[in-house]
Structure 1
């Protein structure tokens, strides 16, 4: 059995470059020709994979929301009722996302309102479900803390973790360690 990851598909390559370019220059600051050039095809060749830039943006933002929720649900199942293990796993997964997918965080912050209403509602629905996984995990560890306070803490930790596009050059390992410690510290403070 090979341990090598499969090479990304052309579609995945296009999405990765579109996310990077949109994050760097804004959705309207990037043309299909530039995205195509970044992956070695003509701009019009992109239309074999996507209906247009709007479809790329929707797939990027809906896709990452689906991926986070699916990963969160998997972590819930894997924790097998252990709230400390679950919270640790949720933090680990979100830190990895925040470090590996920085362009998507920037894209979400800047371009979510450009999505069609149905796609924007879907993103918000998926995000709410993801938040609820975290709220349940934190409440299981801190049942004495009011739900509203837990919810605020979860959103605050997301803000902390999703600040990665704005972080300096600390290096991945050091940044990862620091983000984990800060997230754990924030939730530990709920029990004080």
Structure 2
């Protein structure tokens, strides 16, 4: 979240311009994204051991949490709210942690 908050412009480039990269760099970037998702799935498995992280629901849940952060930091005034990190942490926890 800290990276996204401090470098929202890079998040936007990664999301919007990935297909414009040369093939080698595009493949490396996509692999980095898959590795990042796998890391989040491992962390999710640690805090929710009963959840099968290989299932689509776990992947969708992690992607949803990451998308909320990515979109919020790039959304005008919302991205400059002083409480944005706290709000995003609360939303992410609601999505990822058991109730």
Quick check: TM above 0.5? yes
> Which residue pairs with 2:93 in the alignment?
184
> Which residue pairs with 2:41 in the alignment?
135
Give deviations 1:44-81, integer Å, cap 9, x for gaps: xxxxxxxxxxxxxxxxxxxxxxxxxxxxxxxxxxxxxx
Larger RCO: 1 or 2 (CA < 8 Å, sep 6+): 2
Aligned length: 96
Give deviations 1:88-144, integer Å, cap 9, x for gaps: xxxxxxx11111001111111221111001100000111111111110110121121
Matched, 1:107 2:13: yes
Taking structure 1 as the reference length, what is the TM-score of the superposition?
A: 0.47
Matched, 1:116 2:25: no
Determine the C-alpha separation between the residues in 2 that align with 1:169 and 1:135. Answer: 27
Which segments of 5 or more consecutive residues in structure 1 lack a partner in the other structure? 1-94
SS in 1 for 2:40: helix
CA contact 2:9–2:74 (8 Å) conserved in 1: yes
Indicate how the Cα distance of structure 1 residues 167 and 176 shifts in structure 2: closer, same or farther if over 3 A, else same. farther
Q: Return the match for 2:31 from 125, 138, 145.
A: 125
Which segments of 5 or more consecutive residues in structure 2 lack a partner in the other structure? none
Indicate how the Cα distance of structure 1 residues 122 and 186 shifts in structure 2: closer, same or farther if over 3 A, else same. same
Determine the C-alpha separation between the residues in 2 that align with 1:106 and 1:130. Answer: 17
Taking structure 2 as the reference length, what is the TM-score of the superposition?
A: 0.86
Q: What is the root-mean-square deviation of aligned Cα atoms in Å?
A: 1.6
